Amino acid sequence: MAQYAVLIYSKDSAHAPDATAETSEEVAACDAHADALRSGAVMTAAWAFTPREKAKAVREAGISDGPYVDAQHVVAGVYILEAPDLDAALAVARTNPVIGQGGGVEVRPVHSGGLVTG
């Protein structure tokens, strides 16, 4: 089965130490979604990222604070799906709750790799 990376875009990561009740509800919805994908053996790996202010951008000129691209939405996480084809992967990705929370997702076929350690 083919693998697809689903990049999660949001105004920021809801995984912050100063999370509010609203962000806690958003995280709970995303966690429930992840549990459903995991129990259905569709999602094979997932990572939630810390807020954008913890990011460092590395360029030839040096290291700077913040994400590499300064945009309204940032990559808040990523997960890997196994699906028979792109249409099936898109159907699964459309169920991500971040879409109803003002964010969105991007689906990309995985070309190669797959090494995950610890």
**Local confidence band at 57 (pLDDT 50, 70, 90 cut-offs):** very high
Tens of pLDDT, residues 14-38: 666 666 656 678 778 878 888 888 8
Q: Report pTM.
A: 0.81
Contacts 24+ apart (CB under 8 A), 62-68: none
Q: List, in order of start, the domains of the chain with CATH numbers.
A: 2-109 (3.30.70.1060)
Mean pLDDT of 91-111: 93
